[in-house]
Amino acid sequence: MSDIDTLHPLDLDSPRLSVENPQARYDKQGERPDAERVAAAMQRFSKDFGRTAATYMESCIHCGQCAKACHFYTATENPKYTPIWKLEPFKQAYKRESGAFSFIYKALNLKHKVTIEELEDWQTLLYDSCTMCGRCSLICPMGIDIATLVGQARHGMFEAGLVPHELWAVAERAEREGSPLGATPKVLKERIDWLADEHDIAIPMDKERADVLIALSSIEIMKYPQSIVSTAKVLNHLGLSWTLRSDGYEATNFGLLSGNSEWQKDMSMKLIQAAIDCGARLVIMPECGHAYGALRWQGANMYGKPLPFQVLHISEFLAEKVRSGQIKLKPLAKSITFHDPCQISRRGGATQAPREVIQALGADLKETEDTGDLNWCCGGGGGVVTIHRADSLRYKAFEIKMQQIDAAGADLAVTSCSNCRQTFDDGQAHFQWDKTMHSLLELVADNLAE
């Protein structure tokens, strides 16, 4: 086995982490009897069987279109990766326990009780082979939001203690320490002091009042700190009143990815409360896809009422300032191909924002064959990049992106998600690929016109 095959991407002190990939396994948290695990999963499944989920469950016509939309199916042609099939235990529980004809399904045993073996088998389908990218949801002719249903099915898996251990570990650490990668308030302050000194730039921390609150992802803090400097350059250039807050800065939400809605709420409420405490009218989310979705589209649900501030992804903010003429950029005499992060573009609706910024840079945009809302996922989202046993499958899916970016023939590959960027860096090392993924934010900061 080569060094490249034995290393994993989530190391932040060296290019890659020397850990052997484990054998096939089913991970369990805690020491509970299997019957209790199944009961816990069924109880949580039932909580998510509302009208919307029920409509989705009853609407599937088994056309198979979602399979062709899935990067894991496309890369392997294995039918088990058909997106709707990943929901079978969830759907099985619904048909037997909650559906309109559940009494018939139960009386005739048309749908048997979900077993621990099924839940264990489906762990790899719900977590390892789904990034919740939503491409299947977009393609479904019946409008079934399969990605959302996978997120709901993960709720039951978490309650049963059946989460891949790496994903569970980073989610638990985020709940316990405030950051999935150890970027605690103390670490953040040390990083900010170092960056401010190293780059001779003002990076305000813990201001009592500010119009703008900046959120960060742990990957940026620990691996891509230049993005923090770039954020400061842009906001200082605009003369805005802004701050980072040590009581609410971590945007990455592994509660959402692991399936623990309480942990998801805890992470969201730290940001929400920090924004309220400093009177922010705008919260800018970092280059992180699921972080954006967690606060922009689910934050109000966590808060229990409309958020008292606006939420923008950094690419939306940059596009808005370019549009208003507040940001002017020096021409970039290069061609660019843009990788659309699924949770920001397809799931988040901010598809055109980065293209406005690229146009303002004067760069020649060379789109990939599938782009915008139909862009293929990098394969690392949804927590998949954390799971060691998923590496070989993830690399197969990543080849789709490599081929399309190579075919586009641009000088630079650019994205607006640090998790995508991390997945690309890992893929580059694994395949010894000659392409490097760049940050849209950093390009803007480096090309600000005076």
CA-based nearest residue to 263, from 183, 175, 184, 158 = 175
Say if residue 336's pLDDT is above 90: yes
The 10s digit of each residue's pLDDT in 134-163 is 999 999 999 999 999 999 999 999 999 999
Q: Which residues contact 388 (CB under 8 A, 6 or more apart)?
A: 8, 19, 21, 22, 166
Encode pLDDT of 236-247 as tens digits: 999 999 999 999
Reported residue count of the chain is: 450
How many C-beta neighbours within 10 Å does residue 79 have?
10
At 401-447, the pLDDT tens digits run 999 999 999 999 999 999 999 999 999 999 999 999 999 999 999 99
Confidence at 17, pLDDT banded by 50, 70, 90? very low
Report the alpha-carbon distance of residue 401 to residue 379 in Å, rounded.
9
Strand ranges across the sheet with 335-339: 364-365, 335-339, 412-415, 437-439
Q: Span 4-11, mean pLDDT?
A: 42
Residue 346 token pair: 């397809």
Question: Which of 335, 401, 390, 342 minimizes the C-alpha distance to 362?
Answer: 335
Q: At 118, phi and psi to the nearest 5?
A: -65, -45
For 441, the token pair is: 């934010």
Domains of the chain: 34-163 (1.10.1060), 168-320 (1.20.1050), 326-446 (3.40.50)
Beta bridge partners of 312: 284
User: Helix, strand, coil % (nearest 5) of the chain?
Assistant: 55, 10, 40
The residues pairing with 448 across neighbouring beta strands, listed in sequence order, are 329
- Structure letter (DSSP) for residue 316: H
* DSSP helix/strand/coil, 387: coil
pTM above 0.85, yes or no: yes
pLDDT at 23 over 60: no
Nearest to 417 by CA among 262, 168, 251: 251
* Averaged confidence pLDDT in the chain: 92
Which two three-digit tokens encode residue 404? 């399309």
CA distance 398 to 79: 19
- 352-390 pLDDT, tens digit each: 999 999 999 999 999 999 999 999 999 999 999 999 999
State both tokens at 212: 């703008």
DSSP 89-143: HHHHHHHHHTSTTHHHHHHTTSSPPP-HHHHHHHHIIIIIT-----HHHHH-TT-
- Among candidates 67, 86, 70, 60, which has minimal Cα distance to 141? 60
pLDDT above 50: residue 18: no
Contact (Cβ atoms closer than 8 angstroms) between residue 303 and residue 232: no
Q: What is the dihedral of CA 366, 371, 376, 377, to 10 degrees?
A: 90
Return d(Cα 450, Cα 448) in angstroms, integer: 6
Mean pLDDT of the 295-322 span:
97
The yes-or-no verdict on residue 192 having pLDDT over 90 is yes
Please give the pLDDT value at position 103: 79
SS3 335: strand
pLDDT above 70: residue 19: no
With left for phi above 0 and alpha for psi between -120 and 50, is residue 209 left, alpha or beta?
beta
In the numeric block, which tokens belong to residue 64? 């198979």
